């Protein structure tokens, strides 16, 4: 196994370190032990995960990511947390951290659904910058959060913005239905995070979408990166397919990584 | 590694259903022996003949209130209601009592499959009952595992297939001791690579590693 890029991790948000007093330290140390060379991180709130962050909260959250990326520029890369409920502040954050800073992409969670027209202003700017969007999505039977996107919502965004590269989070929450939804949209890549390490999930996604459209993501520290890695290492893939999922696709999508 | 928690037979959530295919899957991830329960019994399906071999140890799933026998060292229950009597009977028969807390993430499976979780209070009550009877809590998440092992006698063990957080095995060993932990794969619902990777990532001492990966299971008769 060569070097791995984990395209989905988090800092801040009230998430706790597991070895030391510092979440970034633990994330970087654990990743290194597992052969994960780089982790793409976002912060969804300073002390809790904020579903509807205000402008000041977006700034404070992204400052946590920026500080960690500055400490670990080789091991971490930043995704700027945005909210379509605050387009002006979000565009400012995009300018601060992506245009003028080292961040490599953007992250949206559940402030609005992905198909909402309020997404367009941010999507257009991301397209202009050729910067990918990490968008949360899940098909939940229970415990669905208000304004939580489904894969079908993500396809609406992808259809309106064919030039935007979307990393749809949570293959484990999308399931086969979600994979089928996104199959016609080549600008959507699904990440392998979400839920338990279900047997066959990654194998099916690669067989359906092609290895170029599946990217490794752990959702660390919400999930265990070792277990997340097992989803890919335990899948029935060729060496070439596995290399794309674990590294090649992230390098292709996130041009600012290299 | 001895796998104390896997399933075989036809079921709606996996395509791996035969003993041969399950054994190949598990052996590829370093499992040398596996305690296997019938998949159809999880879904109210027909009886399924459990394999018994050098590799597979049969563990029937028992319905509380029904008579049961076991060819192996343990039985498994999927519900708390009436399960205390099963645990008592296990004590009389010299069997290990396994409580399967959950089978799948309820967010992702249709409710009509009937895969309701056992609640933490019910699991705690069962763990405290009949303290002389060895019991394994299977399918617990980390908060459940922590609560049960902290409150239950040392005859209660936990397998770690559905427990997940960074450094999960190492933290469980530090919190509860290696002597109370077992490895399960929860295959074929989950990839057994996950159990192998969790254990490999744990940075345990050789003695701790041996205890968690096979010695505790051997001591329980698996």
Cα gap A118→B83, rounded to integer Å: 53
**Alpha-carbon radius of gyration of chain A:** 16
Chain B contacts of A39, Cβ < 8 Å?
Answer: none
| Average pLDDT value over all residues in chain A | 97
Global pTM? Answer: 0.96
Main-chain phi, psi angles of B96, to 5 degrees: -85, 140
For residue range A102-149, list pLDDT tens digits in order: 999 999 999 999 999 999 999 999 999 999 999 999 999 899 999 999
Give the span between the Cα atoms of A200 and A172, in whole angstroms: 11
Pairwise CB contact (< 8 Å): B111 & A231: no
pLDDT at B115: 83
Average pLDDT, chain B: 95
Contacts of A34 in chain B (CB under 8 A): 201
3-state helix, strand, coil in chain B (%, to 5): 35, 15, 45
pLDDT at A2 over 70: no
- Residue A258 pLDDT > 80: no
Q: For position A43, what pLDDT does the model report?
A: 98
CATH number listed for the domain at residues A4-257:
3.20.20.140
| A115 has a chain B CB within 8 A of its CB | no
pLDDT band per the 50, 70, 90 thresholds, residue B116: confident
Nearest CB partner across the interface for B164, out of A33, A143, A224 = A224
Mean pLDDT of A196-215: 98
SS3 at position A152: helix
Report the relative pairing of strands A166-168 and B156-159 from DSSP bridges.
Answer: unpaired
The residue-averaged pLDDT of A94-107 equals: 98
The pLDDT of residue A1 is above 80: no
Q: Give percent of chain A above pLDDT 90.
A: 98
Of A142, A196, A229, the CB nearest to B197: A229
Q: How confident is the model at residue B13 (pLDDT cuts 50, 70, 90)?
A: confident
Q: Is B221 exposed, middle or buried (0-12, 13-18, 19+ CB in 10 A)?
A: middle
What ipTM was reported for this prediction? Answer: 0.94
Specify whether the CB–CB gap between A31 and A40 falls below 8 A.
no
Res. B24: pLDDT tops 70: yes
List the domains of chain B with CATH numbers.
Answer: 2-219 (3.20.20.140)
């Amino acid at each position: 196994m060569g070097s791995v890029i984990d395209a989905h991790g988090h800092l801040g948000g009230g998430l706790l370190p597991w070895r030391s007093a510092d979440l970034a330290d633990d994330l970087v140390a654990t990743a290194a032990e597992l052969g994960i060379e780089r982790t793409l991180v976002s912060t969804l709130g300073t002390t809790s995960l904020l579903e509807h962050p205000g402008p000041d909260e977006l700034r404070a959250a992204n400052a946590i990511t920026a500080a960690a990326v500055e400490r670990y520029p080789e091991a971490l890369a930043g995704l700027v947390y945005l909210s379509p409920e605050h387009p002006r502040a979000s565009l400012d954050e995009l300018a601060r951290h992506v245009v003028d800073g080292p961040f490599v992409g953007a992250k949206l969670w559940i402030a609005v659904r992905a198909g909402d027209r309020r997404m367009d202003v941010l999507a257009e700017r991301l397209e202009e910058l050729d910067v990918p969007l990490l968008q949360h999505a899940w098909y939940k039977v229970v415990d669905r959060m208000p304004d939580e996107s489904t894969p079908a919502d993500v396809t609406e965004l992808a259809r309106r913005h064919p030039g935007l590269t979307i990393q749809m989070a949570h293959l484990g929450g999308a399931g086969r239905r979600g994979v089928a939804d996104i199959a016609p949209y080549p600008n959507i890549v699904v990440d392998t995070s979400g839920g338990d390490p279900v047997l066959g999930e990654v194998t099916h996604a690669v067989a359906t979408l092609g290895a170029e459209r599946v990217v490794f993501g752990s959702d660390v520290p919400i999930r265990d990166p070792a277990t997340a890695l097992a989803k890919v290492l335990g899948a029935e893939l060729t060496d070439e397919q596995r290399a794309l999922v674990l590294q090649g696709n992230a390098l292709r999508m996130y041009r600012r990584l290299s | 590694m001895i796998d104390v928690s896997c399933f075989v037979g036809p079921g709606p959530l996996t395509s791996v259903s035969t003993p041969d295919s399950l054994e190949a899957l598990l052996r590829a991830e370093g499992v040398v022996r596996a305690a296997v329960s019938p998949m159809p019994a999880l879904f109210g399906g027909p009886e399924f003949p459990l394999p018994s071999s050098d590799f597979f140890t049969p563990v029937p799933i028992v319905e509380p209130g029904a008579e049961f026998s076991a060819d192996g060292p343990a039985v498994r229950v999927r519900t708390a209601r009436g399960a205390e009597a099963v645990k008592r009977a296990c004590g009389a028969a010299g069997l290990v009592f396994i409580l399967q807390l959950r089978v799948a993430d309820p967010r992702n499976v249709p409710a009509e499959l009937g895969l309701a979780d056992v609640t933490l209070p019910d699991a705690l009550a069962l763990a405290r009952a009949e303290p002389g009877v060895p019991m394994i809590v299977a399918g617990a998440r980390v908060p459940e595992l922590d609560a049960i092992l902290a409150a239950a006698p040392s005859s209660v063990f936990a397998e770690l297939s559905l427990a997940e957080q960074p450094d999960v095995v190492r933290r469980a060993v530090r919190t509860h001791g290696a002597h109370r932990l077992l490895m399960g794969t929860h295959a074929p619902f989950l990839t057994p690579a996950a159990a192998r990777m969790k254990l490999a990532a744990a940075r345990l001492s050789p003695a701790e590693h041996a205890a968690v990966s096979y010695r505790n299971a051997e001591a329980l008769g698996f």
